[in-house]
């Protein structure tokens, strides 16, 4: 059925969208290795990657610790029925006096 629409069997072979790399023998290698970083650059990179923002981690842990009980309290308040409604339901359940 699909062969009739496409004019033949479906082909599973596709051309590569990614360019093919040249053979290893044709790749140029630099004659000199890249220049090493000077000590000032090393200190700058070290300072950049050694920063640990512990205050945000501590705030997240406090949020987790305090958020759980707060959520439980909010859910209890939300699903608790007001005292007036409880009284009305209790009156409906009581048998009428004789």
pLDDT at 53: 73
Q: Is the pLDDT of residue 76 over 80?
A: yes
**Exposure string (b/e) for 13-44, b if CB count within 10 Å is 16 or more?**
eeeeeeeeeeeeeeeeeeeeeeeeeeeeeeee
pLDDT at 31: 79
Higher pLDDT, 90 or 75: 75
What pTM, to 2 d.p., does this model score?
0.32
**Which of 15, 12, 14 minimizes the C-alpha distance to 2?**
12
Q: Is the pLDDT of residue 91 over 70?
A: yes
**Which of 29, 45, 26 minimizes the C-alpha distance to 37?**
45
pLDDT at 58: 84
Q: Is the pLDDT of residue 71 over 60?
A: yes
Q: What is the pLDDT of residues 11-69, one digit of tens each?
A: 666 666 667 777 777 778 777 777 788 889 888 888 888 777 777 788 888 888 989 88
């Amino acid at each position: 059925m699909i062969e009739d629409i496409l004019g033949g069997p479906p082909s599973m072979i596709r051309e590569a969208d990614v360019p093919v790399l040249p053979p290893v023998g044709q790749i140029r290698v630099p004659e000199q290795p890249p220049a090493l970083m000077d000590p000032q650059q090393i200190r700058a990179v070290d300072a950049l990657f050694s920063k640990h923002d512990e205050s945000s981690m501590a705030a997240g842990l406090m949020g987790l610790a305090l958020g759980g009980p707060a959520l439980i309290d909010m859910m209890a308040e939300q699903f608790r029925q007001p005292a007036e409604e409880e009284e009305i339901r209790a009156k409906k359940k009581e048998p009428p006096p004789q």
